[in-house]
Amino acid sequence: MPADAGDTLLIQFARCPEVGAVKTRMIPNLSPQQACDLHCDLVRWTARRLVACRLGPVRLAVTGDVSHPLFADCRDLGVNQVVEQEGGDLGERMYRALGAGLAHYRKVILVGSDCPELDRACLQQAVAALERVPVVLGPAADGGYVLIGAREISREIFREIDWGSSSVYARTVSRLEDAAISWEALPVKRDVDRPGDLAYWSRVKARGGLGGPA
């Protein structure tokens, strides 16, 4: 890490919206277009909250066309930079994104675009944890995780993981333990991934979010 590094970078991962290719678990409860619209709503929601937290610059790392109108919307919301994800599977892409961030920042917090519960309090907890340990995880109720933060990172913790399965969090914890990397966990959060999550998402939107203002 260079001597002139900033303190904290927030990275949001997002997929380019393609009808029939995003939020596919919501289909047929939602039409392919409705599922795509939901994806776009969640991407904007997450970007808005990350910017409002004011914990550091926000970098949107995306698959597909970085000039897509959705990502332009995120720039209008205050996102500082839109970049393309690099690497093969999700683990490799997260590893590269974290590593690129840590070249210029002491701490990097990476989140997806599926968890509307991410707010200032949650992100502050993650930043505080990184003063004590090199890695922090935000587990998801479905067995994955909604957040990973690091002040140092190893490629090993992303290897041989079945991304999208219910064992992602447990497998990642096992990888951390095998590598003797200290870590902390945040409280469990809920993603919006399946039809059963739609009522929850409606409640969150009606409240303007959970956990108070971002």
> Looking at the domain assignment, is residue 160 inside a domain?
yes
Residue 209 confidence class, pLDDT cut points 50, 70, 90:
low
Q: How confident is the model at residue 170 (pLDDT cuts 50, 70, 90)?
A: very high
4 or 181: which leads in pLDDT: 181
Sorting pLDDT into bands at 50, 70 and 90, what band is 102? very high
Answer yes or no: is 2 within a domain.
no
Note whether residue 212 is domain-resident. Answer: no
pLDDT value, residue 210: 46
Q: Is residue 13 part of a domain?
A: yes
The reported pTM is: 0.94
Query: In this structure, is residue 193 part of a structural domain?
Result: yes
**Domain harbouring 144, CATH code:** 3.90.550.10
Distances (CA, A) of 206 to 48, 202, 210: 16, 6, 10
Q: How many structural domains compose the chain?
A: 1
Mean predicted confidence (pLDDT) in 103-115: 98
pLDDT in tens, 30-70: 999 999 999 999 999 999 999 999 999 999 999 999 999 99
d(CA 55, CA 167): 30
Q: Contact 109/149 with Cβ under 8 angstroms?
A: yes
Would residue 62 count as lying in a domain? yes
Q: What is the pLDDT of residues 132-162, one digit of tens each?
A: 999 999 999 999 999 999 999 999 999 999 9
> What is the extent of the structural domain holding 11?
7-206
Write out the two tokens for 16: 């380019």
Mean pLDDT of all residues in 67-79? 98
Alpha carbon distance 194, 190 (integer Å): 11
Radius of gyration of the chain from Cα atoms? 16
Rounded to 10°, the helix 32-53/69-77 angle is: 20
Residue 107 lies inside a defined structural domain of this protein: yes
- Residue 211 covered by a domain: no
Cβ atoms 157, 99 nearer than 8 A? no
| Alpha-carbon torsion, ordered 172, 174, 175, 177, to 10 deg | 130
Tell me how far CA of residue 79 lies from CA of 57, 107, 109, 181, in angstroms: 7, 18, 15, 31
